[in-house]
Amino acid sequence: MNERAKILDGRRILVVEDDYLVALALSTVLEEAGAHVVGPVASAEEAVALLEEGRERVDAAVLDVDLNGETSYPVADALASRDIRFVFATGYGIDAVAEGYRHYPRCQKPFDHRAIFKALKG
């Protein structure tokens, strides 16, 4: 087993991403790093519902900022209120993230996998 395969071993990572191919690629990379992927889910409403139901343990999350024209900020708020680490993902610069959310970790698309792993591990 290589070093990358151990980095997220046993962690349950929620993926909130509206682009199927991006979600699939990200999920594959996370699983190769030892994580169990929760989702992926494509909408903020679905992700918040998943968190509120509490049937799935979530250790960390990757949130696409723009989900088909809506933001993932409600998910970020739900995660922050539960002290669950998350990272925003965006293909745009820092200006794509609302000012009140800029203090959270952000990874640029296309993803640098090491940066995602580091942000999720803390």
Tell me: the pLDDT tens digits for 54-105?
889 999 999 999 999 999 999 999 999 999 999 999 888 888 899 999 999 9
Q: Is the pTM of this model over 0.85?
A: yes
Instruction: Tell me what pLDDT residue 108 has.
Output: 87
CA distance linking residue 103 with residue 86, whole number of Å: 12
Question: What structural domains does the chain harbor?
Answer: 3-121 (3.40.50.2300)
What percentage of the chain's residues is helix, strand, coil (to nearest 5)? Answer: 40, 25, 35
Segment 5-26 shows an average pLDDT of 92
